[in-house]
Amino acid sequence: MKALNNNIYIALAAIIFLIGGSACQREYLDLKPKGKLIAQSTSDYNLLFNNTALINTGTGVTEYPNGQLILGDEVLSTEPYFSGAALRTQRFFRYDKDLYNPEDDNAEMKGIMTQLYTYNKIATEVPESTGGTDEQKKALYAEAIANRAWCYFMLVNFYGKPYSPATASTDLAFPIITVADVAETKFTRATVQAVYDFMIRDLTEAIPLLPKNTSIRARLGKAGAEGLLGKVLVFMGRYSDALPYLNSSIDDLPTNYPVAFYNLNITMANAGTAGAWGYNPTTNPAGFQSLYPTAWLNTENIFCKQVNAGAFNADRSDILLTPEAAALFKSSDMRLRFFSSKENGGAALPIAGTLRRNSGTVVQIGIRLADIQLLRAECLARTDRTADAIAILEAFRTTRMPAADAKVTISDKTALIRFVIDERTREFAVNGFRWFDMRRLSTDPLFSSTVYKHRYYDATGKVTEYILTPDRFTLRFTQKVIDANPGMPNNP
């Protein structure tokens, strides 16, 4: 394989994502866009971070990187819903080899690549910008490369194999791109190890330069970057190394706006009670509810990113929570109120025990407080600090259910690790986090024998199982991308 050139911007971003396949790429480069701001001052580059929390390109739902919501093994599908679902949804659910038509763009890449271009532009140009102090420029540079690491965390978990120390140096992932150059028309896929090393370098460089307090929750500060670095290390199986960063993330939470758990015993109480979000056990299960705060106001977000998920979390029943996943919840768990046993409109779901998530049209996929705390608990359990892990788990669970039911009475290390993973499923069900957990656990001896699958029920109730094979842990690039970049190998 040719040596990786870090100073290229792939044709995928240049042609497909940034200018929609236009034949006028040179004009795009040579002319300043009329009516648009050309960043020059430090404050201009600061403004470029705005509007990057919602990941899409603004022209359609299929451009959101939300395929992970379908891929997790906590979901099933059934008639009469599946046949009416989008073709993309059907293909993801079946773990098909080719998820898109040859002429399509990869939704899991498109919006992220647009943001990556912005972050590379800021990182490259802000040091020479005008009007700002050195400290301001360094902070914006750090924020850009930390955001770049977040982009690569998503991309490597879509297009690279799950991290394994034995094969990471040869497994192919995604090209490492550090320059915003729309003229570049070729690229080389980096290895999984190279991408993880790249993320670690970016985050390690950024953290000392980032502020503790950011102006809004959509801006990445010290706590978010520390949490992301801890998460990257967890995905490498480096639990002892990850724990200090996860701890620092909690220690360095912003103080100029609240970052704290909601007590669902209060917020998800019935409408009319103090502090409730308006849950009505009679009317809400029959439709979809927007009880959860928006990403920018959600106090459980350390750093907010979100994607559209209406077909999976609101008015459709294309994918449903399995009875097995639903059975993980205690009946007193207030997170169950984000689900319904009825389809939108009030009819009963056809498969007993399944649930429809009916809690809004977007999914928040950034650095979330619950994610960091549960990763902390997992790292503590894996490093034989079970009492500390249980303390974190119980404190967290008391915000989700009555204190008496939040107790964790497990002394066995392995059982406690498995409990943490189940808690992650309870917390993030049908939010896409399970797909990322499945990938990292597939190389973990404790979970490597797990068979991941989807069940589909036809109109007669007959079950078809779709087994996730190792090859399908990676998504394939579309033929459009391969044709634009001759010689680039695709995933199997």
pLDDT digits (tens), the chain, 492 positions: 333 333 333 333 433 333 333 333 322 222 233 344 478 899 999 999 986 766 654 443 345 789 999 999 999 999 999 999 999 999 999 999 999 999 888 889 988 988 999 999 999 999 999 999 999 999 999 999 999 999 999 999 999 999 999 999 999 999 999 988 766 667 889 999 999 999 999 999 999 999 999 999 999 999 999 999 999 999 999 999 999 999 999 999 999 999 999 999 999 999 888 778 889 998 889 888 888 788 889 999 999 998 888 778 778 899 999 999 999 999 999 999 999 999 988 999 999 999 999 987 888 999 999 999 999 999 999 999 999 999 999 999 999 999 999 999 999 999 999 999 999 999 999 999 999 999 999 999 999 899 999 999 999 999 999 999 999 999 999 998 888 888 899 999
- Structural domains in the chain? 1-46+85-218+465-492 (1.25.40.890)
* CA 50/CA 89 separation, integer angstroms: 30
| φ, ψ at 251 (rounded to 5°) | -65, -30
Question: Which of 427, 435, 436 lies closest to 359, judged by CA?
Answer: 427
pTM for the model: 0.91
Token couple for 110: 């498109």
Please, are residues 217 and 296 in contact by the beta-carbon 8 Å criterion? yes
* CA 10/CA 4 separation, integer angstroms: 12
3-state secondary structure (DSSP) of residue 194: helix
How far, in Å, are 267, 322, 474 from residue 72 at the CA level?
28, 11, 13
Residue 184 pLDDT: 66
